Structure 1
Amino acid sequence: MNTTIPNNGLPKFTQATGSSGSGPSTTAANPSDAAATAPKADDQVKLTDSALALQEAARTGDTSVIDSQRVERLRQALADGSYKIDAGRIADRMLALEQQLGGTGKA
């Protein structure tokens, strides 16, 4: 099966593959042109807190610690009907999440 993915109107970028002669030249004829395309020493990348959290969560060696005793207590409380739901706490956390996502917050 062949699948074609169109570029969706995005510009096509050619990739320099060395000195094949068919692509754009990787050496500049004018030294000032090379300076204009070279990365600057003061270029910086700053990740947002959300990006850092996603990066941390995506680490393959990171294993979450699961409190199996707490899981069992919750499972038992759900089974015997003694687990109480705190609707106010759930609502507060939903509002906090809404604010983090850029919502309007409390109405």
Structure 2
Amino acid sequence: MNTTISNNGLPKLPQAASQPGSSATAESSATAAGSGAPAAKADDQLKLTDSAKALQQAARADNTTPIDSQRVERVRQALANGSYKIDAGRVADRMISMERQLGGTDKA
């Protein structure tokens, strides 16, 4: 399975002539070498692992949960005035649960 990478709005690099001995190829190679950027090859490919694909999908904006700005402001105010309480037991339980999930020992 191949994945196409878009240029994300970046300008396209000039394409080298298709003939290996042409002066355009030599000039573009010299320009690329002089600028520190490698010359692009027509047969370059990128294959993403399943993990990379999952990370890419998770990073998409449509998968995000909306932020509750009112709750964020309440927590911010509670932190500022010192009234925010942390339940250490609950934090520890969730950390242990996450560790079990990562280790594959959690059955939940």
TM-score, scaled relative to structure 2:
0.43
Q: Greater relative contact order: 1 or 2 (C-alpha under 8 angstroms, separation 6 or more)?
A: 2
TM-score of the aligned structures, taking structure 1 as reference length = 0.44
Larger Rg: 1
Of Structure 1 and Structure 2, the greater helix share is in 2
